[in-house]
């Protein structure tokens, strides 16, 4: 336990408490890092952490939302459950946004919440909240501990459920008296979950059907989702794609599963995807969805989505198959396992889709992403391109939601797995900065860039404390357009330019704010200054905050308007 203020004279305990049992259970799960914030109902647990000699670190964030988003970032790149600890009532409810975010984006978390003592449960006791009832719809599973005896078994189950099958958050709610009282016996029997048996390996006959469909297809297309990253299937995917020359498009969260600079990659699909990708989905005769869930920002109006295609869907969650898009070849499996089996079965490649490849390549050349380029001022798209060039695509990039997120997806080419960490399904402002902290703690040797908007950054900026306190070299780039950019864009497009509460004229001095935390801050307003400084700033050994002043009027294009099919895009410009 790395508590810097740990006293020299430690209290001695001879009787194990429920909290001691919990800490030992976390040690047995090889927990390395806990993100949390103390409070009355979890003081027995924090006291047990203080007394423990366990070799893991507690990260004291400055808000519970910062803790859980940091745990999400940690889980995303470390590929193991992030662990969060918060007290009852407001401590627990401050975690709710992050729990929902992790559920939507299939991130494994074990969330430990304190609860009031069992003697006052149900009496509206101080800081009592029904976190079980609140989180049941947004967790993969949750527990309320009834006795310290069952803690080891519950913790083992929680980690198993969070990290197997479709990953997700599991809440373990622990009443204060159970963590504080002595515990003389614990349940060490192996856990048994007869109702929980995720299907890991695919049915070989279904993979055979997929192979046969590929042989017949003249216009095949692979859609990559985050399931490939969770399943570690990127290398097998690349081998299959290159062997059989299948074009690839991606969801927002699937970026990096296939190299973004590969000639067979068409770019992201969906509301702000490339024209080439959306037309490919519209015209393909075989759509192979690997590890994505066909969400509405990808599909647009379902009447127009892949209407001429045989649809194959590989997903470890059977509930996702056929939920939104009718599926002809359902394959319930871990994406990585399915790709291995598919690679094993494929003997000869189809040779009847060269005309399709030629058509797609012509579209890629003719309809690239575009933006207005002023002579001196910075626009966000240009800024992101320069960051990509400066990093060579090697950095981990985190974002919130909004314009900067879409521009990052469009202009930063993610060519390796696990370099892209964003809030996809829930679209959570305030996610990107604490998530970057979690990524940096998980992978200390990686360069981590939090690419955020000025609106989202102000929701969790108190976590600047963490950078200096933990000596984390995270680089924060605020794409500062003094507006809630995507809200402003939608008001411009669909509300006759009535910019109701989307222009944020009053802002802190971000440079002075960073300096108040003893962090280097730099404000940049021109292309010339940005190009001069970006290399040195990204190579700086410590944390840096860059207040990049970008033009407010820029919009994200191309775009599929709400209710339209993905073949009906606005803002498409031929080269």
For 337-454, list the strands marked E by DSSP.
396-399, 420-421, 448-453
Structure-token match 């004291």, residue found: 60
| 384's tokens | 């992101």
Closest by Cα among 440, 472, 482 to 544: 472
| 265-268 sheet: strands from edge to edge | 265-268, 248-250, 220-224, 286-290, 310-315, 329-332
Give the C-alpha distances (Å, rounded to integers) separating 562 from 189, 271, 272, 431, 494.
53, 8, 11, 24, 10
For 304, residues 6+ apart whose C-beta sits below 8 A from its C-beta are: 282, 564, 565, 566, 567, 568
Examine the residue annotation and report whether 1 is marked as an active-site residue of this protein. no
Give the C-alpha distances (Å, rounded to integers) separating 171 from 27, 44, 79, 145, 151.
18, 18, 19, 10, 13
Q: Across the strands, what pairs with 110?
A: 83, 170
Closest by Cα among 136, 309, 305, 148 to 214: 309
Return the SS3 of 180: helix
Examine the residue annotation and report whether 406 is marked as an active-site residue of this protein. no
Catalytic residue among 176, 385, 386, 419: 176
Q: Across the strands, what pairs with 476?
A: 450, 545
d(CA 89, CA 441): 28
Alpha helices in 251-373 (DSSP H): 275-283, 296-299, 335-345, 354-366
d(CA 203, CA 182): 49
76 φ, ψ to 5°? -65, -45
Catalytic residue among 6, 10, 28, 126: 126
Catalytic residue among 65, 115, 127, 410: 127
Catalytic residue among 64, 128, 341, 463: 64
Catalytic residue among 406, 486, 559, 569: 486
Examine the residue annotation and report whether 216 is marked as an active-site residue of this protein. no
For 27, residues 6+ apart whose C-beta sits below 8 A from its C-beta are: 54, 56
149 φ, ψ to 5°? -55, -35
Pairing of strands 33-36, 57-60: parallel
Q: DSSP of 106-137, one letter per residue? A: T--EEEEEEE--TTTTTS--TT---HHHHHGG
Examine the residue annotation and report whether 146 is marked as an active-site residue of this protein. no
Contact 259, 415 (CB under 8 A): yes
For 192-333, list the strands marked E by DSSP.
220-224, 248-250, 265-268, 286-290, 310-315, 329-332
Give the side-chain half-sphere CA count within 13 A for 457. Answer: 29
Q: Is 52 exposed, middle or buried (0-12, 13-18, 19+ CB in 10 A)?
A: middle
Pairing of strands 82-86, 109-115: parallel
Examine the residue annotation and report whether 132 is marked as an active-site residue of this protein. no
Active site residues: 64, 126-127, 176, 486
């Amino acid at each position: 336990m790395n508590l810097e203020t740990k006293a020299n004279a430690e209290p001695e305990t001879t009787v194990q408490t429920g909290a001691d049992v919990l800490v030992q259970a976390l040690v047995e799960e090889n927990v390395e890092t806990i993100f949390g914030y103390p409070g009355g109902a979890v003081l027995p647990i924090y006291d047990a952490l203080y007394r423990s000699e366990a070799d893991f670190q507690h990260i004291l964030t400055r808000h519970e939302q910062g803790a859980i988003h940091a745990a999400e970032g940690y889980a995303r790149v470390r590929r193991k459950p992030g662990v969060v600890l918060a007290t009852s009532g407001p401590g627990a409810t401050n975690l709710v946004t992050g729990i929902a975010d992790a559920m939507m984006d299939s991130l494994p978390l074990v969330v430990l919440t304190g609860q009031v003592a069992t003697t006052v449960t149900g009496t509206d006791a101080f800081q009592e909240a029904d976190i079980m009832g609140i989180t049941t719809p947004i967790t993969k599973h949750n527990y309320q501990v009834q006795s310290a005896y069952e803690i080891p078994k519950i913790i083992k189950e929680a980690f198993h459920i969070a990290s197997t099958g479709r990953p997700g958050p599991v809440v373990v709610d622990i009443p204060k008296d159970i963590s504080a009282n002595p515990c003389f016996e614990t349940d060490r029997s192996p856990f048994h979950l007869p109702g929980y048996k995720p299907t890991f390996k695919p049915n070989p006959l279904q993979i055979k059907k997929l192979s046969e469909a590929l042989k017949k297809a003249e216009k095949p297309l692979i859609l990559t989702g985050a399931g490939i990253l969770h399943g570690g299937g990127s290398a097998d995917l690349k081998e299959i794609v290159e062997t059989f020359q299948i074009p690839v498009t991606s969801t927002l969260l699937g970026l990096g599963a296939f190299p973004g600079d590969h000639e067979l990659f068409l770019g992201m699909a969906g509301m702000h995807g490339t024209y080439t990708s959306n037309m490919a989905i519209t015209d393909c005769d075989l759509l192979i969805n690997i590890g994505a869930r066909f969400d509405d920002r990808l599909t647009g109006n379902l009447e127009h989505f892949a209407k001429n295609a045989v649809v194959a869907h590989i997903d470890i969650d059977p509930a996702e198959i056929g939920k939104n898009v009718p599926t002809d070849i359902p394959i319930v499996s871990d994406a990585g396992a399915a790709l291995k089996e598919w690679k094993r079965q494929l003997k000869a490649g189809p040779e009847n889709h060269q005309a399709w490849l030629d058509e797609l390549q012509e579209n890629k050349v003719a309809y690239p992403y575009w933006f207005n380029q002023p002579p001196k001022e910075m626009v966000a798209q240009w800024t992101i391109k320069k960051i990509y060039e400066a990093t060579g695509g090697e950095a981990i990039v985190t974002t919130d939601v909004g314009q900067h997120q879409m521009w990052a997806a469009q202009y930063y080419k993610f060519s390796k797995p696990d370099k892209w960490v964003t809030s996809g399904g829930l679209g959570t402002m305030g996610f990107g900065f604490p998530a970057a902290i979690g990524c940096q703690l998980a992978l200390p040797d990686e360069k981590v860039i939090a690419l955020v908007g000025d609106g989202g950054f102000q929701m969790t900026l108190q976590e600047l404390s963490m950078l200096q306190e933990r000596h984390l070299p995270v680089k924060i780039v605020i794409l500062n357009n003094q507006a809630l950019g995507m809200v402003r864009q939608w008001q411009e497009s669909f509300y006759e330019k009535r910019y109701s509460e989307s222009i944020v004229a009053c802002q802190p001095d971000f440079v002075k704010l960073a300096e108040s935390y003893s962090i280097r801050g730099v404000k940049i307003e021109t292309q010339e200054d940005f190009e001069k400084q970006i290399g040195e700033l990204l190579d700086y050994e410590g944390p840096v905050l860059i207040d990049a002043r970008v033009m407010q009027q820029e919009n994200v294009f191309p775009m599929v308007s709400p209710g339209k099919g993905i073949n009906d895009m606005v803002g498409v410009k031929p080269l």
